Structure 1
């Protein structure tokens, strides 16, 4: 049995109803193109993204693009950048913010989507849920230490904090992120997107 083409796979992901019990219903959000060279694995869409259906269509997306040194045109070009959250649907609100990504998504879709993206050169692990999925067990005890050890992350992975509004407070406590990580991130993004 042949694996589905990338367009067929993206349609299957967008049609997924594995989380039909979500408070606002399922609306999987994903972006990918066969030639994509940069992959962003994030947490899960927020309520604004759920409403628009466009990944990172909120303040956190503006902050992430600024960190990466790219504009919206580059960010939303699936020929360069693929976006694959740990949970494809908005999980709903909890006591301290959005609920964690649903656990069904990654096992259902990640391996299939990754196998359909053969040209990925750099993977940004945005937030603790993406890092728990893809960094080796024991790599770092928490998100801050994972980001602090970005140079030691295995082949092509780069851990980042989530760019939500709270990241401004985190950045104020960790000035090395802006001074050291962001310049390296921008250079790695530039190299990944310029590779032929």
Structure 2
């Protein structure tokens, strides 16, 4: 555990892209070697950057509902690891938050994942995480989520739970009807 603690301290002190971040560095993640569920996300938004708590926003509320987890379960690092592709808020663009910084994943991701040997389920949110974890560079989020059974039961691609995806959810009612009930069961099973 001391190697892991040292690594986590290094991540929390990271300044690799400090000069590129308008709001400064504030790595936001939640990891522990005992975690059974890994949430691979994109990057924190401004609200999360401010609070320092992963998914401490409307996206987090929706994600907890999708997974069937209480706030206490979700924020227990021995149950749930939250590892975004970029640990700091990348800033805002014309249509929303910018993409995760490209420096972060190569610097830290594999080092951290090497310590997460108890993971049973990886929830892969959005295109950046899906490209990294699933290796499908040209697949759309919709296509990946529709093919969720292909990756079941260990990897589950999901759209990002952002309120910006309300239109996607309305266009894809099968997501809540078919996928979410079995996803919640899989999450419960992994936490036993």
- TM-score, with length taken from structure 1: 0.94
Alignment partners' CA distance in 1, 2:58 and 2:190: 24
Q: Hey, what's the Cα distance between the residues in 1 that align with 2:106 and 2:154?
A: 21
What CA distance in whole angstroms lies between the structure 1 residues aligned with 2:66 and 2:153? 21
CA RMSD of superposed structures (Å): 1.5
Return the alpha-carbon distance in structure 2 between the equivalents of residues 133 and 113 of structure 1. Answer: 15
**Gap change, CA 1:79 and 1:27, over 3 Å in 2:** same
* Alpha-carbon distance in structure 2 between the residues aligned to 1:154 and 1:174: 19
1:105 match:
104
Following superposition, the deviation at residue 130 of structure 1 comes to: 0.4
Question: How many correspondences in the alignment?
Answer: 191
Aligned residue for 1:190?
A: 188
Runs of 4+ with deviation above 2 angstroms: none
1:65-92 C-alpha deviation (Å, 9 max, x unpaired): 0000011100000010101000000000
CA deviation profile, 1:100-127 (whole Å, cap 9, x unmatched): 0001111111111011111000000011
3-state DSSP of counterpart to 1:32: coil
- Offset at residue 169 of structure 1 (A): 1.5
Question: Structure 1 stretch 140-149 or stretch 115-124: which is displaced more?
Answer: 140-149
**Superposition pairs of residues 45-84 of structure 1, within 5 angstroms:** 45-84=44-83
Q: SS where residue 18 of structure 2 aligns?
A: coil
CA distance in 2, matches of 1:41, 1:117: 12
CA–CA separation in structure 1 for the residues paired with 2:191 and 2:117: 14
**Deviates further, 3-12 or 117-126:** 3-12
Partners of 2:130 and 2:136 within 8 A in 1: no
Displacement after TM superposition at 1:187 (Å)? 1.0
For structure 2, the residue ranges without an aligned partner over 5 or more in a row are: none
Distance in 2 between residues matched to 1:181 and 1:24, nearest whole Å: 37
Q: Which structure shows the bigger proportion of residues in helix conformation?
A: 2
- Normalised by the length of structure 2, the TM-score is 0.95
